[in-house]
Structure 1
Amino acid sequence: MAQPTLATLTQYYQPEEKLDSFATMNALLWLTAEQQQPIVHYWQLPQTVILGLRDQQLPALSAGLHTLAQADYHVLLRNSGGLAVVADRGVLNVSLFLPAHRNDYTIEAAYQLMTTYVQAAWPTLPIVAGEIKRSYCPGDYDLSIHGQKIAGMSQRRTENALVVMLYISINGNQDQRSQLIHHFYTAGLAGQQDDRFPDIDPQVMTTISAAQGSALTIDQAIDRFNAVWQQSYQLDHHHLKKLIEEPEFQAHLTHAYHDMQRRQARLH
């Protein structure tokens, strides 16, 4: 029996294209349902803090945003819950889209599927799932090595498709990323106590490169994921590039982009 096909797409966004990242996610979610086609989207943003919807409730949000601007980071408010995460050239975002009805996968099962794929990509590292409380954007399906977080996940669902979104720190200065978000929350809380926002300890986060004790590039990480997908799928690296140029996809992308534009107004 022929293996199902997994279409891949790799994109490196420029700062002025930051809204395209989540607009593309929404449009690909539509395409997954429309084509009944599993998709993996690899993407990166340079020097950007991606805020979650909960971050809007910081009592001194403008002060927090000022700390990010001073550090020369761009800011993006995503269209899902959770809290702030850092994107840069050492962080890889991996979004796995699956055609599925709402009851095909429980939320836990979808997270576990991605966890299994990450573990298979680095079989020699003891990667486990579970909340790392003093990391940034802590959640039940944080992925960690010896208590240090390397990745976090979120999900979005429609009636006929779902996406599991993973960010994974491959290389770079994780201490600096953690300190950046620590300063953001310190300023944004303005001395108030609020357990909805983490008291970040840089010691509880790391990168794959640091954990394995050897350098790893983003392209090498993508190759590892592709090797794992190939055990279950036939990979197609070309067809999706053509599909996203089609007028119908572009219409969905434009609509999603305008939604993201309107969302950003909440930061001003």
Structure 2
Amino acid sequence: MLLANVPITVINRTYSSEHKLISFADTNTLLEICDKFQRPFLHFWTTEQPTLILGINDRHLPNLAAGLKGLAVNHYDYFLRNSGGLAVISDPKVLNVSLFIPTATHNYSIDQAYQIVADLIQTIFPSLTIAVHEIANSYCPGKFDLSVNGQKIAGIAQRRTQRALVLMLYMSIAGDQDGRSDTVAQFYEQGDAYRQDRWHFPKVDKATMTTLANLVSLDISVEAVEDQITTALAAQENAIDLSSAPELLRSAQFINEQATQLKKIQLRNNQLPIV
């Protein structure tokens, strides 16, 4: 599927704990640039530290401070993203993928957009039968969860502007998925998630999630999956730009927009309780 008439610029970043908020500032910045210039991007990123990324709904935990304190005790970093949904985990073996698509000349329905990523992942792992439906007792369950044999390996979200959209996928490549699930389960327990019934929080069951390494190969790596995704997009007649990302990230336009977006995310995170 041809997504744009200009090459897709590939950006690859690893965010330290100090710069964790820049991950979503970059997402917002790239979405604005995609909208303005109808320029597509593929943004791969990971975090250096195990990090719980809160969704907007997680702010409604009755005892959010206790949940956050438990994360700190377990040596997990955390921050609040500026999009809906619920908590997910990021660490060096979880790959975050954001695909930015211009929509001025071609609009996609919500389900059509989600299916682009679902089909892409199925293409690069033809030996797996990947189902697309909600895995209820996973963390951050959603209609477009990707699973194999009932176990979730990835989740997808999307955001839109008037002339662009971004599809955001997190995928557990390897590592201790049971530990990730236990961390989220403990976060909700300590945050008294089930003491109220206005907001729905999942009762995370670690048996509902797994990693690609458990399904495909113990030697699979984040870098290998990045290469496969890029190759699959190129095979769909999309031109791939692997060279201009450094110039983009140094440009005044990117830096200025990133600063604006970062301030917004910092203000949002300043609302979290101090623990």
Q: TM-score, with normalisation over the residues of structure 1? A: 0.96
Report the counterpart of residue 238 of structure 1 in structure 2. Answer: 243
Counting only pairs closer than 5 Å after superposition, residues 1-268 of structure 1 correspond to structure 2 as 4-45=6-47, 46-101=49-104, 104-189=107-192, 192-194=195-197, 196-231=200-235, 232-268=237-273
User: What are the superposed Cα offsets for residues 202-241 of structure 1, whole Å, 9 maximum, x if unpaired?
Assistant: 0000000111243211111111111101112121111122
Shift of 1:190: 6.3
Matches of 2:178 and 2:55, distance apart in 1: 21
Name the CA distance, whole Å, in 2 between partners of 1:193 and 1:213: 42
2: CA distance, partners of 1:163 / 1:191: 32
Deviations 1:33-59 (A, max 9, x none): 222111100001121100000000000
Change (3 A) 1:191 1:55: closer
How many Å separate the matches in 2 of 1:97 and 1:190? 34
Question: Cα 1:102–1:154, aligned 2, differ >3 Å: closer, same or farther?
Answer: farther
Aligned residues of 1:130 and 1:141 also touching (Cα < 8 A): yes
Aligned-residue CA RMSD (Å): 1.6
Structure 2 distance, partners of 1:200, 1:212, is 24
Could you tell me how far apart the structure 1 residues matched to 2:83 and 2:6 are? Answer: 30
Conservation of the 8 A alpha-carbon contact between 1:135 and 1:201: yes
CA–CA separation in structure 2 for the residues paired with 1:127 and 1:259: 37
User: SS at the partner of 2:169?
Assistant: strand
| Residues 169-227 of structure 1: per-residue CA shift (max 9 Å, x gap) | 00000000000000000011166154600001000000001112432111111111111
Deviations 1:222-264 (A, max 9, x none): 1111110111212111112202211111110000000010010
Alpha-carbon distance in structure 1 between the residues aligned to 2:176 and 2:82: 27
Structure 1 contact 139–152 (Cα < 8 Å) conserved: yes
Q: Following the alignment from structure 1 to structure 2, what is the Cα–Cα distance between the partners of residues 191 and 47?
A: 25
Residue identity over aligned pairs, in percent, reads 40
Q: Secondary structure at the match of 2:19?
A: helix
Q: Is the 8 A contact 1:102 1:157 kept in 2?
A: no
Q: Is the 8 A contact 1:5 1:234 kept in 2?
A: yes
SS in 1 for 2:42: strand
The structure 1 segments of at least 4 consecutive aligned residues displaced by more than 3 Å after TM superposition are: none
CA distance in 1, matches of 2:106, 2:62: 38
Distance 1:102 1:157 in 2: 15
